């Protein structure tokens, strides 16, 4: 099992408390949707318990949610039975090119090893239509790979790829994206990891 698969297996064990704590749509999701045409096709990569996918669908967008964690997806399917959720590794997506108007990656790239992020973004670029938009939220700060205690299950360690803004900007630009928006904030509750929250939107 690699680091990202291990992280998803931890989510299998914490799906219920995670769903209780994170029941609201992600920050800056509306700014992302404002950058897309009406009824645009969006893939939510690392969709977890489906809250963002459900919110985007409620606004008329066509959404597919992808996650590796069976238990996170079980909750997503119970909450939003009308939506298309698939258990897949976001590093192995094989949809046709130019299929999606938007890619939504809320706190999922944090579990992808640094060695895999370039190829992942290369594939995301391939999947997006021209002018398509990607939303990425991260645990930001000084670039490092770490294992931290999982907040909902402190006896479990979970892998994190901490990515600085310059690092993600460089990876995006090298893959043909241009940055359109960036937001940052410090953690505001004990149920958040102690890293700067970084939100980046970029266009193909």
One of 33, 46, 198, 201 touching ligand SAM (CB under 6 A): 46
Asked if 190 and 149 count as a contact pair (C-beta separation under 8 A), the reply is no
Between residues 87 and 98, which has the closer beta carbon with respect to ligand SAM?
A: 87
Between residues 7 and 42, which has the closer beta carbon with respect to ligand SAM?
A: 7
What percent of the chain is helix, strand and coil (3-state, nearest 5)?
35, 35, 30
Could you say whether residue 69 binds ligand SAM (CB under 6 A)? yes
Between residues 11 and 124, which has the closer beta carbon with respect to ligand SAM?
A: 11
Bridge-based pairing of strands 144-150 and 153-162 is antiparallel
One of 32, 55, 85, 89 touching ligand SAM (CB under 6 A): 89
Could you say whether residue 102 binds ligand SAM (CB under 6 A)? no
Could you say whether residue 120 binds ligand SAM (CB under 6 A)? no
| Window contacting ligand SAM (CB under 6 A); options: 85-93, 94-102, 144-152, 161-169 | 85-93
One of 14, 35, 64, 72 touching ligand SAM (CB under 6 A): 72
One of 85, 108, 139, 201 touching ligand SAM (CB under 6 A): 108
d(CA 204, CA 87): 26
Phi-psi region of 48 (alpha: psi -120 to 50; beta: other; left: phi over 0): left
197 DSSP β-pair partners: 139, 185
Work out how close the CB of 144 gets to ligand SAM at its nearest, in angstroms, rounded to a whole number.
Answer: 18
Bridge-based pairing of strands 62-67 and 84-87 is parallel
Cα Rg of the chain, angstroms: 16
85 DSSP β-pair partners: 65
Could you say whether residue 67 binds ligand SAM (CB under 6 A)? yes
Could you say whether residue 151 binds ligand SAM (CB under 6 A)? no
Could you say whether residue 101 binds ligand SAM (CB under 6 A)? no
Phi and psi angles of residue 181, each rounded to the nearest 5 degrees, phi first: -150, 150
Could you say whether residue 47 binds ligand SAM (CB under 6 A)? yes
Asked if 84 and 95 count as a contact pair (C-beta separation under 8 A), the reply is no
One of 62, 91, 114, 182 touching ligand SAM (CB under 6 A): 91
């Amino acid at each position: 099992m690699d680091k990202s698969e291990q992280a998803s297996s931890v989510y299998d064990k914490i799906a219920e408390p995670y769903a209780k704590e994170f029941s609201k749509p992600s920050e800056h999701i509306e700014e992302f949707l404002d950058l897309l045409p009406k009824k645009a096709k969006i893939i939510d990569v690392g969709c977890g318990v489906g809250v963002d996918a459900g919110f985007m669908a409620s606004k008329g967008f066509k959404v597919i949610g992808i996650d590796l964690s069976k238990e996170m997806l079980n909750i997503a399917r119970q909450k939003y039975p009308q939506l298309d959720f698939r258990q897949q590794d976001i590093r192995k997506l094989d949809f046709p090119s130019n299929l999606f108007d938007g890619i939504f990656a809320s706190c999922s790239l944090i579990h992808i090893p640094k060695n895999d992020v370039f190829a992942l973004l290369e594939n995301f670029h391939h999947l997006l239509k021209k002018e398509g938009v990607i939303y990425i939220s991260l645990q930001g700060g000084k670039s490092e790979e770490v294992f931290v205690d999982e907040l909902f299950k402190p006896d479990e360690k979970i892998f994190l790829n901490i990515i600085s803004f310059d690092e993600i900007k460089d990876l995006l630009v090298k893959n043909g994206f241009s940055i359109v928006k960036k937001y940052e904030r410090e953690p505001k509750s004990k149920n958040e990891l102690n890293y700067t929250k970084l939100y980046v939107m970029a266009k193909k």
